[in-house]
Structure 1
Amino acid sequence: MLPIAATYLLAALLVLIYIWCRYTYGYWKRNKIPYMTPLPLIGNMGVMFTMKNSFYLYLSDVYKDVKMSKAAAVGIYILNRPALVLREPELIKSVLIKEFLKFANRSAGCDPHNDPMGWNNLFFIRNPQWKDLRTKITPVFTTGKIKQMYPLMSEIGTELEAHLNSYAKTNDAFVTEVKEVCALFTTDMIATIAFGVKANSLVNPNGEFRTQGRKLLTFTLRRAIDFFIAFFVPKWVSTLRIKIFTTEFSSFLRGTISHVMELREKSKATRNDLIDVLVSLKEEAVAKGEYNAQLQDMLTAQAAVFLSAGFETSSSTMTFTLYELSKRPDLQERLRNEICEAFVAEQGKMSYETINNLPYLGMVVDEVLRLYPVLPYLDREHLPKEGERQFDLKPFYDYTVPVGMPVYIPIFGIQRDPEFWPNPNTFDPERFNAENKKTHKPMSYLPFGTGPRNCIGSRIGLLQSKLGLVHILKNHYVTTCEKTPSEITFDPLSIVLSYKEGIYLKFINDKRYARNVKQ
């Protein structure tokens, strides 16, 4: 038995823990905000600790919880830290647009010393450095620059066709895991348009570009813990030496970017790509006497997020599109007819203007992004300037948001809300025809976010996805097979929308289309 003194000490400790929990987890009740019931010590993060669900799907569950159906905002606890989940479109609009300067930063964070590539990239970097960097990077993504890149992109599309034809040399039908094929294509695409590098992933799937990309976004338990800390307890990133970009990936990209920039500086060539912008930023810093290793890391960081986000988002969109079309051959036939007619009209080619104006292709991709937004939630930190009025939830609640509080916007839940989208889990591209788009409620469709900190690469990402789909469906149609999942199971370890296992589909070479298209 424990000595009496130790027993009293233990009892006192338990009482203190109980009082602390009662007070800490009574925050939302005291402030009269609807809230999800927390668990002691872990708050509302139980789904992540048990790995039953991902955080973004938990946010979706919060959004659609019957008890919260009339709530404008819902209180949750990130471990012991209060946070808000927004449901009301007007509040979402205020955070992302009207009151943007109070929410200019993400709540996630990186270690500036141990992970400079994470800290300095456009996704994580904090304001006001974010605003300056975004202004300098934006020229890469103008319509004019993307149009100039389009011939390079089309070349990779042709290589994707050749890759698929290599599968079908002895058979007109074959089964393959779709995401990997799409990721090979988007890796080659990003390598050529961003870095001026021929990655040849479609020819060599185990090349360095694809290998590093595969490792970066493979969510092992260790990587999941890193991302959990960076996104939900960023104050610990320095203490625990957390890295978003692994040492191996950082070393690979530093070497690649330094080499490519050096070649570009010597050749004085212009390709209207990311490297041109980085070289320009470097020359500007050298002229001011401000160039150093830290700035080079900042330049490399932009390439890192461009590569990782660029190949993953577009390849996922392509994959989910092919998956949905495989289950709806009628819709696939309509899309393939549109694609084939466009190729025939332009003698086997497809111009930049044409691919961006194929109406049904646009409708299909928009609907896929509604069902499968690759970044399924947004996070912001409430950080008004000193002396500035803090944001409040009026007229919905008499509550002023404290400085530093995380705010979450559950995109996945919003985009599957039956109030905005009848039969929300049904794949229906007609939701995005010209007439129906006029009826969409503002803030109900946010696959690229909105406001000043929206996705800077949305146009080039959409173009990548469309180009890949066009070159796949040009001479092939896809069907389900025995290995095709009847429903998508999302990976609980991932912070982006990612399915747990591969999606296998059957590709059938359609000679009818091949004959009609003039090569």
Structure 2
Amino acid sequence: MILILVWVAVLIAVLVLYFQQIYSRFSRYGVKHITPVPLFGNMARLIFRLEHFTDNMGNLYRSFPEEKFVGRFEFLNEMVMIRDVELIKRIGVKDFEHFLDHRSLFSSSDTFFNRNLFSLKGQEWKDMRSTLSPAFTSSKMRLMVPFIVEVGDQMMSSLKKKIKESKTGYIDVECKDLTTRYANDVIASCAFGLKVDSHNDVDNEFYAMGKVSSTFTFRQMLMFFLIANAPKLAKALKLDVLSEAAKQFFRKLVLETMSDRETRNIIRPDMIHLLMESKKGKLTHEDIKSNDEAAGFATVEESAVGQKQVNRVWSDDDLIAQAVLFFVAGFETVSSGMSFLLYELALHPEVQERLAQEIKETHVKSGGKFDFNSIQNMPYMDMVVSELLRLWPPGINLDRICTKDYNLGKPNEKAEKDFIIRKGTPISIPVFAIHRDPQYWPEPEKFDPERFSDENKHKIQTFAYLPFGVGPRNCIGSRFALCEMKVMIYQILQHMEISPCEKTTIPAKLDNETFNIRLIGGHWLRFRERK
């Protein structure tokens, strides 16, 4: 018995020393951090669903307001959170080559999905970015607007029918479901050339696969952190964010669509066509700057990395991976942004009415025609969407991996040592927290489109507004996302008044059960036809 107690005491002592060693490096260099829980690091409250990811990161961000960067532990692994906007600029732009790559989202055993633009690393990522960037210019988005409008017409027809059938003259709508179905049908049309009506055919396969693939449930969130922090264990357990059924569905869909178009010589200006053109080397960079009107204040510009000519030959799997990334990324982020946009407009009727008036005036000026130019000539629309992306950025956190040792400098003015971030260490840029920091945004919790008026937008600190990321590795689809959001809100406010209902979550409270930003109880709002 005594021998057992001795061994237990020795084991405890070894574990204590081990955890002290693991969790001590930040302290040795004066890098502030919240005391980690052994084994869990700073993840315990997240793992046990006591707070949302935005709160988990926000608490760390707000705990040390004087620091340029702070430490965080994901289980046993170090991560550095960047707080200082000038340091964000250095990392994202000036010294971009030191932070070229993202963390792995998919299992290392999955060669197919590791081929997408998000997952590719180093020179391969640069080559793929250069290959795809001509596909995401405003001139290409202009050609897709009719497809988006057609999907919006389907949605409006469904809403009007339900209101007509109601006995009250209004309906209460779960807007996350509404916008998810809308985003699904837009991507089905603009990416894959499919005509899908998810508002009436509610259980169609395309929607079902999209929802499963892009909703980060608690289980998927755990898998993501395991893949990122323990890739060997994840590989041994064969963990992956996407199911095998989803992978096979997308593979078959893309290959059959491409084959059918080749056989029948079908040309449709959507993403499949652009990917096929890129494989043939027919996409050029000549229109990235010329005729590339800014799609709005939040638009990110393509860097020199994306403007280089590339002669690389890509496989079918490479192209399938890009189509799937476009689908998964657009499905959740755009639908999330749009559901919160409807929520804020319902809670701020004065903003809603001013925007509805601008839509009405635009409709009259254009003679009832609605196209890409309509969106470009609506300054208040852009102010509203820009503010929405500040308050509720779908990309709540940016990540990078340090690709070679880098001197971050001193964490604060009192620190005695520079901190060298080691190769392989991830960094985090907490977009959600920065967008709500009163240092950069007066009354940050207030929804106020006037921040982005001509009189005020020059006051915005550039690297304190990051709805589509920063530097060469920013979101390639910013123009498409902005265009899609603006088309949807144009069509809804042209015909509908939106207001809170009994089930509306006021004040907003995020659901801890998912990695995505969603309101507890759902995004319920009341729709009635505009008179």
Quote the offset at 1:484 in angstroms: 0.5
Aligned to 1:411: 431
Give yes or no for contact 1:177–1:503 (8 Å, CA) kept in 2: yes
Aligned to 2:60: 62
Summarize the Cα distance change of 1:269–1:86 in structure 2 as closer, same or farther, 3 Å threshold: same
Give yes or no for contact 1:323–1:505 (8 Å, CA) kept in 2: yes
1:1-150 superposed matches below 5 A: 2=1, 4-65=2-63, 68-113=64-109, 115-150=110-145
Quote the offset at 1:142 in angstroms: 1.1
AA matched with 2:408: D
Quote the offset at 1:74 in angstroms: 0.5
In the alignment, structure 1 residue 189 sits paired with structure 2 residue 189: no
Give yes or no for contact 2:217–2:515 (8 Å, CA) kept in 1: no
1:301-316 superposed matches below 5 A: 301-316=321-336
1:204-263 deviation line (CA, Å, top 9, x unaligned): 121111111122234444323222223444443312212122112111111111111011
AA matched with 2:174: E
Summarize the Cα distance change of 1:395–1:318 in structure 2 as closer, same or farther, 3 Å threshold: closer
For 1:203, which of 200, 213, 217 is the aligned residue? 200
Quote the offset at 1:335 in angstroms: 0.7
Summarize the Cα distance change of 1:156–1:289 in structure 2 as closer, same or farther, 3 Å threshold: closer
Structure 2 Cα separation of the partners of residues 474 and 231 of structure 1: 45
Aligned to 1:379: 399
Summarize the Cα distance change of 1:131–1:495 in structure 2 as closer, same or farther, 3 Å threshold: farther
Q: TM-score, normalised by structure 2?
A: 0.89
Structure 1 Cα separation of the partners of residues 370 and 211 of structure 2: 31
Q: Secondary structure at the match of 1:176?
A: strand
Structure 1 Cα separation of the partners of residues 312 and 329 of structure 2: 32
1:136-181 deviation line (CA, Å, top 9, x unaligned): 1112201111111222222222222212111112343111111111
Structure 1 Cα separation of the partners of residues 465 and 231 of structure 2: 28
Structure 2 Cα separation of the partners of residues 417 and 401 of structure 1: 25
Give yes or no for contact 1:188–1:202 (8 Å, CA) kept in 2: no
Give yes or no for contact 1:140–1:273 (8 Å, CA) kept in 2: no
Give yes or no for contact 1:57–1:412 (8 Å, CA) kept in 2: no
For 1:347, which of 361, 367, 372 is the aligned residue? 367
In the alignment, structure 1 residue 510 sits paired with structure 2 residue 530: yes
Give yes or no for contact 2:505–2:520 (8 Å, CA) kept in 1: no
Q: Secondary structure at the match of 2:333?
A: helix
1:402-424 deviation line (CA, Å, top 9, x unaligned): 11111111100000001111110
In the alignment, structure 1 residue 259 sits paired with structure 2 residue 267: no
Structure 1 Cα separation of the partners of residues 47 and 474 of structure 2: 30
1:253-292 superposed matches below 5 A: 253-282=250-279
Structure 2 Cα separation of the partners of residues 32 and 470 of structure 1: 51
Structure 2 Cα separation of the partners of residues 175 and 399 of structure 1: 54
1:260-304 deviation line (CA, Å, top 9, x unaligned): 1011111223223221233245557xxx9978xxx3332211111
Structure 1 Cα separation of the partners of residues 313 and 132 of structure 2: 19
Structure 1 Cα separation of the partners of residues 11 and 477 of structure 2: 52
Aligned to 2:164: 169
Aligned to 2:303: none
Give yes or no for contact 2:503–2:524 (8 Å, CA) kept in 1: yes
Give yes or no for contact 1:118–1:244 (8 Å, CA) kept in 2: no
1:377-433 deviation line (CA, Å, top 9, x unaligned): 01111012xxxx633325855111111111111100000001111110011110111
AA matched with 2:199: L
Quote the offset at 1:434 in angstroms: 1.2
Q: Percent identity?
A: 34
Q: Secondary structure at the match of 1:408?
A: strand
Q: Secondary structure at the match of 2:164?
A: coil
Quote the offset at 1:128 in angstroms: 1.7
Structure 1 Cα separation of the partners of residues 247 and 230 of structure 2: 23
Summarize the Cα distance change of 1:250–1:401 in structure 2 as closer, same or farther, 3 Å threshold: same
Aligned to 1:363: 383
Structure 1 Cα separation of the partners of residues 426 and 94 of structure 2: 18
Aligned to 2:497: 477
Structure 2 Cα separation of the partners of residues 462 and 236 of structure 1: 39
Q: TM-score, normalised by structure 1?
A: 0.91
Aligned to 1:514: none
AA matched with 2:86: E
Summarize the Cα distance change of 1:379–1:233 in structure 2 as closer, same or farther, 3 Å threshold: farther
In the alignment, structure 1 residue 336 sits paired with structure 2 residue 359: no
Summarize the Cα distance change of 1:321–1:510 in structure 2 as closer, same or farther, 3 Å threshold: same
1:449-505 deviation line (CA, Å, top 9, x unaligned): 011000000110010011011111101110001000102222334333233431111
Give yes or no for contact 1:192–1:199 (8 Å, CA) kept in 2: yes
AA matched with 2:10: A
Aligned to 1:228: 225
Give yes or no for contact 1:149–1:272 (8 Å, CA) kept in 2: yes
Aligned to 1:444: 464
In the alignment, structure 1 residue 249 sits paired with structure 2 residue 242: no
For 1:326, which of 330, 337, 346 is the aligned residue? 346
Summarize the Cα distance change of 1:99–1:205 in structure 2 as closer, same or farther, 3 Å threshold: same
Give the root-mean-square deviation of aligned CA atoms: 2.0
Summarize the Cα distance change of 1:495–1:221 in structure 2 as closer, same or farther, 3 Å threshold: closer
AA matched with 1:375: G
Q: Secondary structure at the match of 2:337?
A: helix
AA matched with 1:359: P
Aligned to 1:517: none
1:22-44 deviation line (CA, Å, top 9, x unaligned): 22212111111122111112111
Structure 2 Cα separation of the partners of residues 234 and 367 of structure 1: 38
